[in-house]
Amino acid sequence: MTRKLRAMKNVYVSTLLILLMNMITTTNGLAKDIFATYPHDVKMKDELFYSSGVCAFRLWAPTAEAAELRLYDHDAQAGGEKARVIAMKRGVKGVWGIDVKEDLKGKYYTFRIKTDGRWLAETAGIRAKAVGINGKRAAVIDLNDSDPVGWAEDRSPALKSFTDIVIYEMHHRDFSVNEHSGIENKGKYLALTEKGTKNEAGASTGLDHLRELGVTHLHLLPSYDYGSIDESQLHEKRYNWGYDPTNYNVPEGSYSTEPGNPLSRIREFKQMVQSIHQNGMRVILDVVYNHTQTIDGSAFTLTVPGYFYRQWPDGRYSNASGCGNETASERAMVRQFIVESVKYWVNEYHVDGFRFDLMGIHDVETMKEVRKALDEIDPMLFVYGEGWTAGDSPLPEKLRAVKKNGLQLRRIAVFSDDLRDAVKGSWNDAKKGGFVCGVGGLEESVKFGIVGATQHSGVNYTRVNYSKAPYANHPGEVINYVSCHDDLCLNDKLQLASNANTTEEEIIRMNKLAQTMVFVSQGVPFIYAGEELFRTKRGIHNTFASPDSINQIEWNNKSRYAGLYDYYKKLIALRKAHPAFRMSRTEDVQKHLRFLEIHKPCVVGFALSNHANGDEWKEIVVIFNGNKEEKEIEIPQGEWQIAAADGEINAAGMGTLKGGKVKVKAISALIVFRK
C-alpha cells in the first residue's frame, strides 16, 4: 500500500519494444500485449536443475538477442572476482539454456541478456531459490541439504473449516527484539523455535505465549528476500516491514543468523515452520506479487524488459501499488510465476496459506488459478488479501480481485474494512472514532460484520459504510479485524479518537469490546501482534521503517496488563469452544442468527438459536454497548447464564440473570446463554 514504502522515482521506458506496446491500445485501456506473439505455454518452474553430475540452467527471455550464464566462486560481497562466462543457447518457446556437466555446488551464478544491441545488468534470475548476501547472486545448492532433522515427517495441524481459524499477524523483529522478551535469537526465524522464554515477571513470551493465547495461524509479514535492509550491515539494526520484493522464492537473509550462508536462511526458515507446526499452529506468508522494489533493476526487467509490468497507453508505468509500479498478473507468464511461487512455498517450506498484499491489483482469474493450484495440494490452505488497490490501474475494475468482485473469489477471503472502521473509526482520520468510542450511525456496518459480509435480511446494506452489497459467498471468505500493521495500532487509535479526559481504564474497555465484536462475528478473526498486551507505537501512523523502539512488543506489558491478556485468551477460548460463532455456511447464518430490535445509537444485539452449528448452547444473546453510559435492553424472558459482562468473560459462566429488561454496562459486551 502507499503507506508501506517511500514513493519511488519515476523510471523511463527503456526500449522501443515497450514504446510500441504502449502506442497500441485495446478498447478497455490496457496496452495491447505484443508479447502475445511470443509463446506463453512454457512451463517454467525453475531456472536451475541441480545434480552432482550436471547443472542445467534455463531462462525464459523471448526478446533477448543473446543470453549468458556467469559463474562465480564467491558471493557478490567479496567483490573483484571475474566471472566465468558461458554463452546460453536459444531454444524453443523463448527459453535459453545451457548444461554445465560439473558439480557446481557452492558456486554462485547470475544471468545477463542482450537486448537492443546492449547487455543489461546481471540478475540472480526471476526464479532463484537460493541467494547470497542481498540477493545479488543466486547460489548453487542441493535443497536436500537445507532440511532440518525430521523435516520429512513435518505435518500441519488439522483444520476442518476456515472459520475455525484465529490469525495472529506478526513481524519477526517486533515479536522478539524487546530486551524483556527472554528470547536469545532476537529478530530471527529461530526466535519461534525457542521454548521456556519469560519476561521479567516470569510470564511466558514468544512461542509459548502464542500457544497459551490459543491462536491457530501465524501471519508472518514479508519473509521473502526484500531489498530495503542491507544484510551485510545488520549491526546498524535497520528496520522495514519488507514490502519491497527482490527475490520472491528465497527467505529474507536479515532474519537468518548467517545471511552470508545461502543454506542458513533456508534451513532456519524450515526450522521455524517445523516448530510452529509442532506447537499446534499453522503458518501464513504475507506475499507481495503486486509490485517490485524497483523497475529498471528488477529481475523481471533484466530478463524480459516491460513484460511483467502494466503501463498506461502513453508509456508510463502504472502505479496501483503506490510504490512505483504494478505487475501484470493477467499476462500468462506472470500468472504462471505467481502460481508456481505459492506452490513452491507450500511444497518446499510447508507453509499453510498466503495473505496477498493489495490483492485488488491482481486479476480475478489469477487468484482463481492460485486457489485451484493450492486446492490440488491441500484444500485447507488458506488464501486471503486486501480487496483494494492503492491507486488507479489500467486493469478494468471488473477484472480486479477487489471486494466488489468478491463473490467471484470463491474460497478466497478479503479483509473487512467495513467492520474495522465501523468499530474503531476511520483509518485515515486519527481523531474520528467508531462504535466503541461512542459514535452512532455505524450500527448497520457493525451488523454487516456480524453476518460475515454475507447476505442477511437483518442488514440494511444501503447504510453500510463502504459496501452496499455482500461480497462473501460464505463467512470463511471474510477477515474480521480492527487493527493490523498498517495505520495506527488499536490502542493508539482509541487514544487519539477519544477526548483528553478518557481514562486508560476506558481505553482498555474499548479494546476489549472491539475485539469481542471481532471474535463473536461470523467470519475469520484476525488480531495484530501485541494488541493483547496493550501495544503502543507512540501514536505513529506508518511505522514501516521506524526503529525497534517504536515497533517492538513490550513483553513486560503481559504482566502489567494481565487482565487484558486474560480477556483475549478467554475470548479466543470462547470462540473455539462454541461453533455458533463460526458458522461456515451462509444458509446457517440466515437460519440461526437474528438481530434484536434495538433502536439506540451505539447499541447492537443479536441472538443465535436452536443449537446453531451444533453448539451445545441452545440459545445465545449478544449485545454490544459502545456508549459511555449503561443502557437498558430487552432480551427474551427466562433465566440466562452470563458468559461475558462489564469487561469480564468466562465461557464456563459468571452467574445468572433474568430475561426481560437487562442493563448492559458502558463500553462492554453482554453475552448470555442457555442450554
Q: Note the helical H segments in 282-439.
A: 332-349, 364-375, 417-424
Q: Are 366 and 330 in contact (CB under 8 A)?
A: yes
Asked if 421 is an active-site residue, the reply is no
d(CA 425, CA 101): 63
Q: Which residues pair with 224 in a beta bridge?
A: 251
**Of 244, 363, 386, 554, catalytic:** 386
Which class for 471: exposed (0-12), middle (13-18), buried (19 or more C-beta within 10 A)? Answer: buried
**Of 47, 174, 357, 477, catalytic:** 357
Asked if 386 is an active-site residue, the reply is yes
In DSSP notation, 385-400 reads E--S-SS--SS-GGGB
d(CA 511, CA 557): 15
SS3 label, residue 403? helix
Which class for 597: exposed (0-12), middle (13-18), buried (19 or more C-beta within 10 A)? Answer: exposed
- The alpha carbon of 438 is separated from its chain's Cα centroid by a whole number of angstroms, namely 30
Q: Are 205 and 558 in contact (CB under 8 A)?
A: yes
Sequence-separated (6 or more) residues with CB below 8 Å from residue 178: 186, 548, 552, 553, 554, 555
Which class for 545: exposed (0-12), middle (13-18), buried (19 or more C-beta within 10 A)? Answer: middle
> What number of H helices and E strands is found in the chain?
14, 26
Task: Please say whether the dihedral angle defined by the alpha carbons of residues 362, 471, 427 and 210, taken in this order, is positive or negative.
Answer: negative
SS3 label, residue 268? helix
d(CA 256, CA 275): 16
- The alpha carbon of 267 is separated from its chain's Cα centroid by a whole number of angstroms, namely 22
Sequence-separated (6 or more) residues with CB below 8 Å from residue 379: none
Cell numbers linked to 110: 547470475
Sequence-separated (6 or more) residues with CB below 8 Å from residue 559: 199, 200, 201, 202, 203
Q: Are 292 and 245 in contact (CB under 8 A)?
A: yes
Sequence-separated (6 or more) residues with CB below 8 Å from residue 291: 245, 321, 323, 324, 325, 326, 327, 358, 361
SS3 label, residue 365? helix
Angle at 592 between CA 590 and CA 595, to 5 degrees: 75
Strands (E), 237-330: 245-251, 282-287
Active site residues: 357, 386
